[in-house]
A and B are shown apart, each in its own frame.
Chain A
Amino acid sequence: MTTGTGAGTSRTGTATTGAAGASGPGGAAGTARTTGTAGTPAGLTQHSGTRGGIGESTLRPDGTLKVTGEFAYSSDMWHEDMLWGHILRSTTAHAEIVSIDTSAALAQPGVYAVMTYDDLPTDVRHYGLEIQDTPVLAHGRVRHHGEPVAIVAADHPETARRAAAKIVVEYRELPVVTDEASATAPGAPLIHENRTDLPQGPPTGSGPGGTPVTGHVPHPNIVHRQPIVRGNAEEAARRADFVVRGEYTFGMQDQAFLGPESGLAVPGEDGGVDLYVATQWLHSDLRQIAPVLGLPEDKVRMTLSGVGGAFGGREDLSMQIHACLLALRTGKPVKIVYNRFESFFGHVHRHPAKLTYEHGATRDGKLTHVRARIVLDGGAYASASPAVVGNASSLGVGPYVVDDVDIEAVALYTNNPPCGAMRGFGAVQACFAYEAQMDKLAAAVGMDPVEFRRLNAMKQGSVMPTGQVVDSPAPVAELLRRVKAMPLPPERQWESSEGADVRQLPGGLSNTTHGEGVVRGVGYAVGIKNVGFSEGFDDYSTARVRMEVVGGEAVATVHTAMAEVGQGGVTVHAQIARTELGVSRVTIDPADTRVGSAGSTSASRQTYVTGGAIKNSCELVREKVLELGRRRFGTYHPAWATAELLLEDGKVVTDGGEVLADLVDVLGEEAVEVEAEWRHRPTRPFDPRTGQGDGHVQYSFAAHRAVVEVDTELGLVKVVELACAQDVGKALNPLSVVGQIQGGTVQGLGMAVMEEILVDPATAKVRNPSFTDYLIPTILDTPTLPVDVLELADDHAPYGLRGVGEAPTLSSTPAVLAAIRNATGLQLDRTPVRPEHLTGTA
Chain B
Amino acid sequence: MRVSFTVNGRPQEADDVWEGESLLYVLRERLGLPGSKNACEQGECGSCTVRLDGVPVCSCLVAAGQAEGREVVTVEGLADLAERRARRCAGGDGSGSCASGACGTSGAPLDEAPGVPAGDAWSRAARPQDSQAGGGGGLAPIQQAFIDAGAVQCGFCTPGLLVAADEMLERNPDPSDADIREALSGNLCRCTGYEKIMDAVRLAAARQAEEAAR
Contact = CB atoms under 8 A, between A and B. Distances in A.
Interface of A: 1-7, 12-13, 16, 19-26, 28-33, 38-42, 47, 49, 57, 59-60, 62-73, 75-76, 78, 156, 158, 255-260, 306-311, 337, 339-341, 501, 503-504, 509, 565-568, 735-736, 738-739, 742-747, 770-772, 776-780, 782, 784-785
B42 A771 contact: yes
Given A258-B37, A568-B153, A69 B74 contact: yes
Interface of B: 2, 12-18, 20-21, 28-42, 44-45, 47, 74-76, 78-79, 115, 117-132, 137, 139, 143-144, 146-148, 150, 152-159, 162, 178, 180-182, 184-198
Contact of A6 (B28, B127, B196): B127
25 contacts: A4-B125, A4-B129, A7-B128, A16-B123, A22-B120, A32-B33, A38-B119, A49-B132, A57-B150, A67-B139, A67-B152, A158-B20, A258-B156, A258-B190, A260-B39, A340-B41, A503-B181, A739-B150, A742-B192, A771-B40, A776-B190, A777-B194, A778-B187, A780-B181, A784-B195
B39 A64 contact: no
A567 B191 CA distance: 8
- Looking at A259, A565, A772, which has the most chain B CB atoms within 10 Å of its CB? A259
B117 A22 contact: yes
Given A38-B120, A70-B125, A785-B193, 6 more contacts: A3-B129, A38-B119, A49-B132, A70-B76, A739-B192, A742-B194
Contacts of B132: 1, 49, 59
Given A69-B76, A158-B20, A743-B193, A19 B15 contact: no
A599 B184 CA distance: 36
B126 A779 contact: no
Nearest to A503: B178
B141 to A, nearest CB: 11
Contacts of B185: 778-780
Contact of A59 (B37, B45, B147, B182): B147
Contacts of B79: 68
Contacts of A7: 128
Given A59-B147, A566-B155, A771-B42, A6 B34 contact: no
Contacts of A736: 150
Contacts of A3: 125, 128-129, 131
Given A4-B129, A64-B131, A780-B185, A73 B37 contact: yes
Contact of B34 (A22, A69, A340, A566): A69
Contacts of A62: 155
B150 A19 contact: no
B128 A746 contact: no
CB-CB nearest 10 A-B residue pairs: A69-B35, A566-B154, A33-B119, A32-B32, A66-B155, A308-B156, A6-B128, A32-B118, A742-B193, A746-B193
A483 B15 CA distance: 59
A260 B42 contact: no
A553 B189 CA distance: 39
B125 A64 contact: yes
B182 A69 contact: no
B147 A72 contact: no
B36 A743 contact: no
A150 to B, nearest CB: 22
Contacts of B150: 57, 59, 735-736, 738-739
B16 A30 contact: yes
Contact of B118 (A25, A341, A567, A776): A25
Contacts of B123: 16, 19-20, 22, 42
B63 to A, nearest CB: 13
A340 B42 CA distance: 8
Given A504-B178, A780-B185, A747 B131 contact: no
Given A67-B139, A259-B39, A38 B121 contact: yes
Contacts of B137: 64
A610 B123 CA distance: 28
A115 to B, nearest CB: 24
Nearest to A76: B34
Contacts of B186: 778
Contact of A770 (B40, B178, B192): B40
Nearest to A36: B119
Given A309-B154, A503-B181, A26 B12 contact: yes
Nearest to A71: B155
B45 to A, nearest CB: 6
A739 B196 contact: yes
A28 B13 CA distance: 11
A19 B122 contact: yes
Contacts of A30: 2, 13-17, 30-31
Given A22-B119, A31-B30, A779-B197, A6 B126 contact: yes
A41 B39 CA distance: 20
Contacts of B192: 739, 742-743
B118 A22 contact: yes
A772 B44 contact: yes
B111 to A, nearest CB: 19
B148 A40 contact: no
A613 to B, nearest CB: 23
Contacts of A744: 193
Nearest to B133: A1
A260 B37 CA distance: 10
Contact of A311 (B44, B190, B196): B190
Given A62-B155, A69-B159, A12 B47 contact: no
Contacts of A780: 181-182, 185
Contacts of A779: 180-181, 184-185, 187, 189, 194, 197-198
A63 B131 contact: yes
Contacts of B159: 67, 69
Given A3-B131, A25-B31, A16 B122 contact: yes
B196 A742 contact: yes
B155 A19 contact: no
A66 B18 contact: no
A784 B181 CA distance: 11
A266 to B, nearest CB: 15
B81 to A, nearest CB: 13
Given A66-B158, A69-B33, A739-B150, A29 B130 contact: no
A762 B12 CA distance: 52
B28 A67 contact: no
B181 A32 contact: no
Contact of B139 (A60, A68, A509): A68
Contacts of A568: 153
- Looking at A59, A73, A258, which has the most chain B CB atoms within 10 Å of its CB? A258
Contacts of B12: 25-26
B197 A40 contact: no
A5 B126 contact: yes
A770 B154 contact: no
A76 B28 contact: yes
Contacts of B126: 4-6, 12, 42
Given A308-B156, A785-B195, A2 B16 contact: no
A806 to B, nearest CB: 14
Contacts of B31: 25, 30, 32
Contacts of A742: 192-196
A70 B153 CA distance: 15
Nearest to B20: A158
A565 B154 contact: yes
B196 A69 contact: no
Nearest to B151: A739
A64 B30 contact: no
